[in-house]
Structure 1
Amino acid sequence: MSTQTSDKPARNTTAWWREADRKHHLSPFTDYKQLKESEAGARIVTRAEGVWLTDSEGVRILDGMAGLWCVNVGYGRKELAEAAYKQMLELPYYNTFFKTATPPPVELAEKLAEITPAGLDMVFYGSSGSESNDTVARLARFYWKLKGKPEKAHFISRTYAYHGSTMAAASLGGMTPMQEGYGLPLPGFHHVDPPYWFDFGGELDREEFGRQAAKQVEDKILEIGPDKVAAFIGEPIQGAGGVIIPPDSYWPEIQRICRQYDVLLVADEVICGFGRTGYMFASEHFGIEPDMMTMAKGITSGYIPLSGVMVSGEIGRTLVEAGGEFFHGYTYSGHPTACAVALANIDIIEREELVRKVREETGPHLAKRLAELAEHPIVGEVRSLGLIGALEIVQKKRPRTRFPGNGKAGTICRDHCFAHNVVLRAVRDGMVMAPPLTISTEEIDELVSRLRTCLDLTAKDLGAG
C-alpha cells in the first residue's frame, strides 16, 4: 500500500498561518487581491514584551505605533491579565440593561469622572472608538430633542478626521476612501478643512492660519443654520489623519464659536487620551472644555475592547430630568471584565507616573531626536507633542513641494521601516509614530536611528538626496 506525502505545511507554523490567513481571514483595511498575490503574505506576530514584538520567525520588531495607537502601558503587563482573570472567575459578564449594573463599570465610571476634564460627570460605555462616536451622533440628537430642538441634527467635522468605521462614525470622519462607494457620508454630516498648516497654510503665519481654519467651522454653522447644527467634533490632534497638531490659536477659537452658536463641542480623545500627549487628556493641553468626550484604546491599553463617551453635567441633568428612554446600547456596554482591566490599567498609568514621564522626559527626548531629522534632505517638517509625532517627506523644502504620486514616498519609507523591523505608519507622504508610553530614551534613540536609515533608503529610491 503506497503512502502519499502532503505538501501542505505543518500546522501552527509560519507557512500554515499565512496560508490559512489568505484562505479564511478578512483583515481590516486590506486589498485582499494584493495580499493573496503577495509572495510573503502576512507577518505573523506571536509574542510581545515592553515595546517589542516578536514574529513567528523569532525576529524582534520595535513597535513605534503601540499597536494601533493603544498599547499605552506596553506589552506583557501581568497586572492586566490578572485583573481579567480574577474578574472572569467572579463574574465574567452580565449586561447593564434593564436597571442592572455590576461593580466594575460603576467603579470605573467614578474613576473616569475624577480624571477626565472638569465638568464631565457621566459615561456611556461601548467596545470601540467607532461605537462611542456612533453613540455621540445618537446622543447629541437625543439631547437636542429633549431640549425641544429636534431640528438641531447636523454635525460638522474636518477633512482627514478619523472617528471610526461604523456608518455614522465614518460619516463623522473625513476620510474620502472610506466614504466613496459606500453611500457616505450620511445626510446631515459636513466637513471643513483641518488646521493642517504644512499642507494648507501656504505662507500664512501659523497662528493666523489657525484662526482662519477655525473660521471655516463658523462659516459652515452659518451656512447650515445655527438652529440646525447639533455638534462639532474634532480630535485634539488628528492622529490617523497624519498627526495634525493645530496652531495654538485654533482650539480657543473653536471653543468660542461653539459657545456663541449653541453647538455642542465633542472632543475625540480615542488616540490622544490616557497620557499620549503628556497630559491625561489632550483637551487639558489645548484648554478644550468639551460637552462630550469619546475615549477607547488607551483606556485598557488595548488589552481588551472598551470605550466610553463622557458627557457634561448639563447633558447628564437633561437626560435625567427630562426623562424618556434612550433607545441605544450594546451587548457589551459596561462589560465587567473590560472595566476591571481598565481600572488596573489606569492604576498603572498613575502609579508609574507615565503622564509626567511623557511630559517631562520621554516626550521632550522624542522631540529633540526628531528635530535632528529636520535637516534630512527629504524631510520638510517634524512635529510632536508628548509621544505622538510625525515628519513630512518632501521633494523640495522651499517652497514646500511633494514628490509626484500622492502617498508614493510615504509608502516607500514605510516598507523600508517594516524591512528594518520598526513599525511606523505612512499617512499620505508623512511618517507618523505613537510608541508605548513605557518606551525608554534608549529605545527612542533606536527608533529614530532606524527611521533615519529608512529615510536615506527612501531618498535613494526616489533619486533625491
Structure 2
Amino acid sequence: MPTQDNMNLQDGEKVVLGQGGKETATYEDLKASDESHQMHGFGHPLMQKGPRQLVVFESGDGAVLKDVMGKEYLDAMGGITVAHLGHGRKDLAQVAFEQMSKLEVSSNQRNLTNNNAVKLCERLSGLAAQAFPEMDGSRVYLTAGGGEGIEAAYHLALRYFNKSGPLGTSYGEGYKKQKLISFRNCYHGSTFIPASMKPEFSDYGWKRWMEGHGREVYESPSHRMFSNIDPPHELFMDVSKMKPGENVGQAAARQLEERILQEGPETVAAFVFEPVQGDGGAVDMHRDFFPLAKEICKRHSVLMIADEIMSFAKTGHWFGMELYGVCPDIMVISKGLTCGYLPAGAVIYQNYIWQTAFNNLSSKMMLSDVWQHDYTWSGHPVCSAVALRALDIIDSENLIELCAKRGREFLDILKSELEGLHVVQQVRGTGVMLGVDLISDIATDIEQKVLLEYGIVLRASTNKHCLLLTPPYVMTDEQFKKVAESLRKVLRSFATLAESAISKSRQH
C-alpha cells in the first residue's frame, strides 16, 4: 500500500531506468529535463518546480503505480479515466507485440484497410445494435481518441445536412445547419470544436477567435456558433430559470427547445452531450430529460451526438445512454475501448445518416461526394487488435456487470467516509464514475495534497469545485477504502483551515 515510508531512495541517488541495469538518470535529472522540455496538459509550471512536486511514474500493476524512486500510488483515476482493466496486463501487451511484428501500420483511406479495423467496426456496430435497436446496421469511423472523434462527428453532421437535398447536388436545404448546443460544465476535448463547446475555455476555441469582434457580435444568434444550456442536475441547474411545477429534467428540456428556437432551427446541426459528465464531476442527468430531448431534437431536425468518450464501459452498461433508454443519432467512444493500452476511438452512427450522407450521390463520382476527412491513425492495425482483445476481456469476464457492482461498493465506501464533512456538498456515482462536489473552488489543492502526501491519484475537474474518481475494475475494497480515508483526512484539514480563517476574520 502507498505510504510516505515507501520512498526507497534519497535525493540525488541514481534511478535505474530501462533494461540491463544501466544508470541513466537521477530523479533530479529527470525533473530538470521535464522543466526544460515538456509541457503538461492542464498544468502550470509551478506544479513541476517544487522539491517533490513532479511525480515520474515508471511501472504499474493492477490499481498500483510506482514512480522512479520506488514510491507506490493508488490510481483512483485509472490513468486518465482509461485503465478499466488495471495496469500491467501482459495479454494486451502480447497482442500489441504480435500485431506490431506482423503489420505495424497501414492506410485506412479510400479503398484501403486492414483485417483488424474491419473486425473492430463490425464488433462495435454489433454492440451498438445490442444496446439500441435503432443502431442495427450502424456504421463506424475509427479514430485515435475522443476529441478527434467529436470533430469527426461534427463533420459527419455537416455532411448529413449538406447531402439532404436533391440527388447529386453539392449542398442540400440543410447547408445552413452548422451550430452546436451543449451543456454547461461539459468537457468534450481540447481541439477547436470540442473546446468551443465549453464556455469556461475562454483562451482558445471559437470564443477566443470571436473576441476581437466584441461581446455583442459574439453573443448574437446570427454570429454565435456554440451555445449552452444548464445540465439537468439539481446542483448545476440555475433554479431561477425553472418554472413552477417543473423538475430539473423538464426545465433543461424546455431550455433546449427555447435555445433551438432562439438560434433558429434551420441553423442548429446537433445537440452534443455526455450521458454522465466526466470532467464535470460524474454528473448524472435527470431521467426525464433525454426522452424529452429526443422528441425536441426530432421535431427540429437536430442530431443528438452522445459523447461516450469517458462513459463507454464505465457506467454498468456498454454505453452510458442505456441508463436512460434513449438512442442518440451518433455516439463517440474512446478511453475504455483499449483500456489505456493504446490510443483508439470510434464514431458510431445510425444507418439512416449513412444512407443520406454517402448513398444519396450521383452516379458519377464528384469531388463533393468524397468524405473530406481522415486521421493518420484511423483504423491503426495494432490499436484495433488491442481494442478487440480488450472488448473480449470485458465481455468474457463479465466486467460490465462487475463495473456496476464495484461502482455501488465504491460509492458506499466514499459516502461513509466523506458525507457530513463541512467542505463536501455531495458524493455521487454512476458505475465507476464517482464525483465529490465541494462547497468552494479548492479541488485542485485537494488533488495535489492527496497525491503528494498520501500517494492517491485522482482528478480535480476544470470547474475547480469537483473531484473525479474512476478507479479500475480491479481495485479492491481495501485499496479504495485507503483512497477514501486519505481523501477524508485531506478534506478535514481544509475544513479546519477554513474554519480557522473564518474565526480570525471575525476577531478582526
Give the structure-1-normalised TM-score.
Answer: 0.90
Q: Distance in 2 between matches of 1:206 and 1:127?
A: 45
Aligned residues: 444
Change (3 A) 1:307 1:207: farther
Whole-angstrom CA distance in 2 between matches of 1:93 and 1:143: 30
- Which amino acid counterpart does residue 180 of structure 2 have in structure 1? F
- What is the alpha-carbon distance in structure 1 between the residues aligned to residue 392 and residue 486 of structure 2? 33
Which residue of the partner structure matches residue 215 of structure 2?
Answer: none
Percent of aligned pairs with the same residue? 29
Query: Which residue matches 2:353?
Result: 315
SS of residue paired to 2:272: strand
After superposition, what is the alpha-carbon deviation per residue over 1:424-448, rounded to whole angstroms, capped at 9, x for unaligned? Answer: 2222222221111222223222222
**Paired residue for 1:411?**
444
CA distance in structure 1 between the partners assigned to 2:284 and 2:228 by the alignment: 18
Displacement of 1:320 after TM fit?
A: 3.3
CA distance in 2, matches of 1:329, 1:175: 29
1:332 is paired with a residue whose SS is: coil
Secondary structure in structure 1 of the residue aligned to 2:435? strand
Equivalent position of 2:419 in the other structure: 374
Q: What residue in structure 2 maps to residue 193 of structure 1?
A: 230
Contact 2:419/2:426 (8 A) holds in 1: yes
One-letter amino acid matched to 2:292 = E
1:174 and 1:130 map into 2 onto residues whose CA distance is 16
**Contact residue 13 and residue 26 of structure 2 kept, 8 A:** no
Q: Secondary structure at the match of 1:308?
A: strand
Q: Which residue of 2 aligns with 1:425?
A: 459
The 1:249–1:420 alpha-carbon spacing in structure 2 relative to 1, beyond 3 Å, is same
**In the aligned structure 1, how far is the partner of 2:315 from the partner of 2:470?**
10
Q: Which amino acid aligns with 1:52?
A: V
Aligned to 2:147: 130
Determine if contact 1:105/1:334 at 8 Å carries over to the other structure.
yes
Task: Pick from 59, 68, 84 the counterpart of residue 80 of structure 2.
Answer: 68
> Cα deviation per residue 1:85-134 (whole Å; 9 max; x = unaligned)?
11111111001113111100100001101112323311111111110001
Equivalent of 1:288 in 316, 326, 333: 326
Larger radius of gyration: 2
Could you tell me which of 364, 385, 393 is aligned with 2:408? 364
Q: Find the counterpart in structure 2 of residue 139 from structure 1.
A: 156
Q: Return the offset for 1:37.
A: 4.2
Residues in 2 aligned to 1:52 and 1:37: alpha-carbon distance in whole angstroms = 25
Task: Provide the C-alpha distance between the structure 2 equivalents of 1:365 and 1:432, rounded to a whole number of angstroms.
Answer: 16
1:270 aligns with 2:329: no
Aligned to 2:103: 91
CA contact (8 A) 1:354 1:438 kept: no
Mapped to 2, the partners of 1:151 and 1:454 lie a distance apart of 52
Which residue of 252, 265, 283 maps to 1:226? 265
Give me the whole-angstrom Cα distance separating, in 1, the residues matched to 2:199 and 2:325.
Answer: 24
Contact 1:83/1:344 (8 A) holds in 2: yes
Taking the aligned partners of 2:141 and 2:389, their CA distance within structure 1 comes to 19
How far, CA to CA, are the matches of 1:455 and 1:251 in structure 2? 35
User: In the alignment, does 2:487 pair up with 1:443?
Assistant: no
Residues in 2 aligned to 1:202 and 1:167: alpha-carbon distance in whole angstroms: 31
Distance 1:224 1:352, change over 3 A: same
SS in 2 for 1:96: coil
Q: Superposed, which structure 2 residues align to 1:4-403 within 5 Å?
A: 11-32=24-45, 34-35=46-47, 37-116=49-128, 117-118=131-132, 119-120=134-135, 121-147=138-164, 148=172, 149-177=174-202, 179=204, 182-183=208-209, 188-200=225-237, 202=239, 208-274=247-313, 276-323=314-361, 324-359=369-404, 361-372=405-416, 373-394=418-439, 403=440
Contact 1:201/1:209 (<8 A) preserved: no
The alpha carbon displacement at 1:176 in A equals 2.7
Report the secondary structure of 2:402's partner residue: helix
SS in 1 for 2:70: coil
Distance (Å, rounded) in 2 between the aligned partners of 1:383 and 1:269: 19
Residues 123 and 310, structure 1, Cα contact 8 Å, conserved in 2: yes
Q: How many angstroms apart in 2 are the aligned matches of 1:393 and 1:26?
A: 29
Report the Cα distance in structure 1 between the residues aligned to 2:424 and 2:48, rounded to whole angstroms. 34
Structure 1: segments with no counterpart, 5+ residues: 1-6, 395-402
* Contact in 1 for aligned 2:61/2:87 (Cα 8 Å): yes
CA distance in 2, matches of 1:392, 1:41: 25
Q: Structure 1: how far apart are the matches of 2:378 and 2:261?
A: 36
List per-residue Cα deviations over 1:9-56 (Å, max 9, x = no partner).
873221111111011111222223x24643334210111110111111
SS in 2 for 1:12: strand
Unaligned runs of 5+ in 2: 1-11, 15-22, 165-171, 211-217, 362-368, 503-508
Q: Output the amino acid matched with 1:159.
A: R
Instruction: Please state whether the residue corresponding to 2:387 is helix, strand or coil.
Output: helix
Distance 1:375 1:270 in 2: 32
CA distance in 1, matches of 2:276, 2:200: 15
Amino acid at match of 1:420: Y
AA matched with 2:407 = G
Mean Cα displacement is larger for which, 441-450 or 210-219?
A: 441-450
Task: Tell me, yes or no, if the aligned pair for 1:170 and 1:178 is still in contact at 8 Å.
Answer: no
For residue 248 of structure 1, give the secondary structure of its aligned residue in structure 2.
coil
